Structure formats: C-alpha cells, structure tokens
Structure 1
Amino acid sequence: MAKAVFEKTVQATKSKESHKNYIKNNFLLYLFLLPAVVLVFVFNYIPMYGVTIAFKDFSPIKGIMGSEWVGFDHFINFLQSPNFQQIFTNTIKLSAFELLIGFPIPIILALMLNQLRRAKVKKHIQLIIYAPYFLSTVVISGMLFIFLSPAGPINEFLTLFRDEPVSFLTDPSYFRSVFIASSVWQVAGFSSIIYVAALSNVDPQLHDAATIDGASLFQRIIHIDLQVLKPTIAVLFILAIGGIMGIGFEKAYLLQTDMNLPASEIIDTYVYKRGLQAGDWSFGAAVGLFNSVISLLLLVIANTVVKKLNGETLY
C-alpha cells in the first residue's frame, strides 16, 4: 500500500516537472497567446458583471449598484407573458428546422467536391458556393424582398401556373421556409470548408484498395470518407446544438413585417424591441440570460449524448 502511494507521488512529481519544462521550452508560444487571452477576458468575462441588471430594476441614473434588487421578477414576467409560448415556439422551430436541414448539406457538398478530380472545375464550383457567405445580411434580405415580392421574378414565373401571386413575405406560413432556405443558401458552401479540409487527410490508397475489392462509390463514401469525418461532424454538431437558441437576429428582424409577425417574432427580436427600443434594459437582459442558459444546457446535454454514442467530446 505504502509502495503504491509512493509510486503515485513520484509519478505526479515527474508530471509536474515535465509540465514546467514544457512551459519553459515553449515560453514564446504562451507569450503569443497572451494578447488573445487578455482580449477574451476584457471583452467576454468582465462584461458578465452587467448580467446583474437582469435581477434589478435598472436605472441609468442610479447605475447597476444603486438600482433596486428585484430578484427573478423579470424572468417570471417573461414566462407569464401572453406571447411567451409563441415567441419560444417560433425560436425552437426555426432553430430546429434550420439545424435538421442545414447541418447535413455542407457534409454532402464536401463529399461531392471531394469526388471532383479536375482542380480547375473544383475551384470554380467552390467560388460559386462560397460567394453568398460574403454578402451581408442586409443585402440578402433586400434580394429576398425583390425576388419574392408580388411583382418579383419568382411570382411572375408562378403566375404562369396560378392566377394570383404568392405572398411569401407577408404570409406567416411561408416565413419559416424563406428564412431557412435563404440561410442554407448563404452559409452551406462556406461551412463545407471544414469538411473538405478533413477529407484531405483521407489516404488515397484506401480508395484504391476498396475499388480493387469491388466497393462502389457510395460504399467508399460511407465506409471511408464518412468515417474520417465522424470526429469533425460530432464536434460541429455539438456546437450547432449549443447555438440552437441563437439563430440570428439580423435577418429575422429585417424580414419581419406586421403581417408575418406571428411566425417571425423570436426571442432575439423580442429582446431588441423590449430591451433597446422600449428602454426596458432589465427585462431585456433577463430574457437574454434565459436564452443563454437554455443554450448552455443544450450544449452540455448534446456533449454528453455524443460522448456516450460516439466517444467524441467538445470538452
């Protein structure tokens, strides 16, 4: 027993010494990392103090410290508000459908690009599918209003088969489809870069050996390419689950009209209207904190489930 404890102590001491030696040998690398750590601390951790206004009746005149403490009153008011269910449901539906539809498409694009053998053609296709990502959300929203308006080109084409134009941007039943389709078109190509980079590590000899053994293209993709992508897919899926409550305020707000409000009002737009436009900073902070806590819980749950099923983990 004493011998085992002694051996563990010796091993721990050696581990600490090797860690210290590693830091000494790589001192310049840690020095280069220092500015990034400082920036994250200053702009991400110090502002967390402002979250306390979610538990206070904040007044700019009194300041954070001088404002009255109200506890969980703002959270209760939000949960009991008549439009809570609609806002929360809209957020979940938009996020869930965007994840289910948008997450697999970059993987499929990467697998298709990986099969192209002509480098010039591959570069041209990559340029075309990456380009929408670099358009601003305002430009994308403006394009949607032009193309989907009653007098737009899409409705002009549809009038060949129907008498009346489709109200894409005013009918709540179409908002979710327009939002998700435009998001996938904008980010799917750029999101495939990570998967394309991961596929570059596939040994070509594996494909050659599988071809000799009679494996089809589909079988090689399933048993070789997807197996290489599994760790990357697992990590990105966990991150996507963690961001499921933050689907993007900008486009939802820009595409929002009085007519499609029942489907387009989400937590982020609600926080903007109540917190900034109406000047109810404490209530807006409370709703934002509620959104962040839900995202954190989803991240932890997704990480735990993926770790048990696949062995991959984010932390």
Structure 2
Amino acid sequence: MYGIFIAFKDYQPFLGFWDSPFVGLKHFERLFNDSNFWMLFRNTLILATYNILFFFPLPIIIALMLNELRFEFLKRTIQTLVYIPHFMSWVVVVGIAYIFLTTEGGIVNELLVRLGGEKINFLISNDWFRTVVTLEVIWKETGWGTIIFLAALAGVDPQLYEAARIDGANRLRQLWHITLPAIRSTIIILLILRLGSFLDTGFEQIFLMLNAMNRDVGEVFDTYVYSVGISQGQYSFSTAVGLFKSIIGLFLVVVSNYLAKKFGEEGIY
C-alpha cells in the first residue's frame, strides 16, 4: 500500500521511490483541471451504472432458473455452456463481436437487411457503444457469476420447501418467500463488494472497442491512464488516477455497508 505515495511524488525510476521529489497534490490538480476529466468521469460512471443495473442482477436470475430445473443432466449442461465464455480472453470476445456486428457481412446487419431494415455501424456508433460493451460483459461473465449464488441456494433447507408445499404455496410463492430471502445476504454482500470496484470498467475490453469515432463516449479512466500515463512513463499521474478511483470505491463501500446494517443486514464488517 505504501506505493500510493507515488501519487504525491514526481516519481523518477533512476532516483527511486524515496528520493523522487515530493510534489503534494500536483497530479490530482492536473487530473481535475484536465479538459477531459468530466468526459472521462461521465463515461466511466455511465458504463459502471450499466454494469450494476443490467449485469449484476442477471447471475441471480440465471441461478434461480437453474435451481428450478429438476433434470440434473440438463442443469449441468446449461451450466457448462454459460460458464465457457468466462474462459475466453477479451481479445476473442471482441473479435466475435466484430464478426457479428460489422457492416461487411456481419450476421446482425445481414439479418437487419433481410428484415427490411438498414445496416447499423455498431462498431463506430456513439449511440451503440455502451450497449455493445454491456452486452459483451453480460455474455462473458453472467454464467461465472452464478456460481456463488448456486452455492448459496444449495444451502437452503429442503424442509422449508416441503412445509411451503403442504401449506399450498406454488413454485412462485416458494421462490419469493423462501429462495430469495435465503440468498438475500449473499446478494447484498456481493453488491457492496461490487461497488468497491465501481469505477473499474475493464481496460482491455474498452481499449479493444475504442476507435476515433466512438472515443467521446468510450474513453474511460483506465484507457486514459494507459494512453497518457503508462505509455508516456508518467507513473505518478497514473497512480493519482488510480487512487482517485479507489477513494470513490471506498466511499461507496462504507456508505452501502452502513445502509445495509441500517436495514438489518450483516454487511461486510
């Protein structure tokens, strides 16, 4: 953790960590005064919000659906199929997206034309960039995210379901009154932890999807740090940006944990 002090120094590798000159908040002032700061903050915030709203609930939904399957072979087959994308690199995932979405023979655009519509250039469109990025995250990581929730569901006492059936509760009532309350604490803990990395939108995926046409809506802190900080050897500035993101994540964790405890949940500490 002592490495974060680089953010307050003008770090020079040949001088070393301790002998590099101390510059205080210089790098933070540079970040906040940068003409691109609000664009970066807006883009990062929107993509992070998309992930929370559209991606985070899906592993829960998939886990609940898999839990309702009574044919073990079918359940395991579906689990395997939804897990596989997690093991693909973002290079492969983005490559698949290009094949599907390109205007030069892409499956999606060919289908649009056959249905009487016009081709859409998804790959350079500002309107479609965030949607495509979010869909890629959903396809790649949703299956892997179900593992923890399936493990939590495995711990639910079967006698609760038997008692509910005797009382006349159908499958939907059992889901609402037994299954969801049983995994509620797991959902809240994972949500709090997810908020800790709220502004981490993923460098590799965004970097591969960026081009000159969609940079206004796609450039985020992670890619900015790479292009301005790492590529030019400005390690102190890069650390300052990372520390800024971490402080926001810490704030969100503390606030969300406080709210969780206020509403009677355990929280993470």
Classify the TM-score, shorter chain.
over 0.9
Q: Does 1:279 align with 2:255?
A: no
Q: Does 1:82 align with 2:31?
A: no
* TM-aligned CA deviation for residue 203 of structure 1: 2.0
1:68 pairs, out of 13, 21, 28, with: 21
1:142 pairs, out of 92, 95, 106, with: 95
The one-letter code sitting in structure 2 at the alignment partner of 1:113 is L
Structure 1 counterpart of 2:189: 235
Q: Does 1:109 align with 2:62?
A: yes
Q: RMSD in angstroms over aligned alpha carbons?
A: 1.3
Alignment partners' CA distance in 2, 1:222 and 1:191: 21
The one-letter code sitting in structure 1 at the alignment partner of 2:257 is N
The one-letter code sitting in structure 2 at the alignment partner of 1:122 is K
The one-letter code sitting in structure 2 at the alignment partner of 1:63 is G
Structure 2 counterpart of 1:93: 46
The one-letter code sitting in structure 1 at the alignment partner of 2:158 is P
* TM-aligned CA deviation for residue 227 of structure 1: 1.0
* TM-aligned CA deviation for residue 162 of structure 1: 4.6
1:179 pairs, out of 106, 120, 133, with: 133
- TM-aligned CA distance change 1:162 to 1:74, over 3 Å: farther
Fraction of identical pairs, as percent:
43
Alignment partners' CA distance in 2, 1:203 and 1:52: 50
The one-letter code sitting in structure 2 at the alignment partner of 1:114 is N
Q: Does 1:292 align with 2:241?
A: no
* TM-aligned CA deviation for residue 173 of structure 1: 1.2
1:44-63 deviation per Cα after TM superposition (whole angstroms, max 9, x unaligned)? xxxx2322221122222222
* TM-aligned CA deviation for residue 254 of structure 1: 0.9
Structure 1 counterpart of 2:159: 205
2:110 pairs, out of 153, 156, 168, with: 156
Alignment partners' CA distance in 2, 1:119 and 1:73: 59
Alignment partners' CA distance in 2, 1:181 and 1:230: 25
Alignment partners' CA distance in 2, 1:198 and 1:308: 23
Gaps of 5+ in 1: 1-47
1:67-89 deviation per Cα after TM superposition (whole angstroms, max 9, x unaligned)? 22111011011111111001001
1:245-303 deviation per Cα after TM superposition (whole angstroms, max 9, x unaligned)? 11211101111111110111011111111111122222111111111111111111111
Note the 1:245-284 alignment, pairs <5 A: 245-284=199-238
- TM-aligned CA distance change 1:265 to 1:193, over 3 Å: same
1:11-47 deviation per Cα after TM superposition (whole angstroms, max 9, x unaligned)? xxxxxxxxxxxxxxxxxxxxxxxxxxxxxxxxxxxxx
Question: Which has the bigger relative contact order, CA under 8 A and spacing at least 6?
Answer: 2
User: If the length of structure 1 is used for normalisation, what is the TM-score?
Assistant: 0.82
Aligned residues: 268
1:135-173 deviation per Cα after TM superposition (whole angstroms, max 9, x unaligned)? 111111111111111121111111123553111110111
Contact 2:7 2:236 in 1 (8 A): yes
Runs of 4+ in structure 1 off by over 3 angstroms are 161-164
SS at 2:29 equivalent: helix
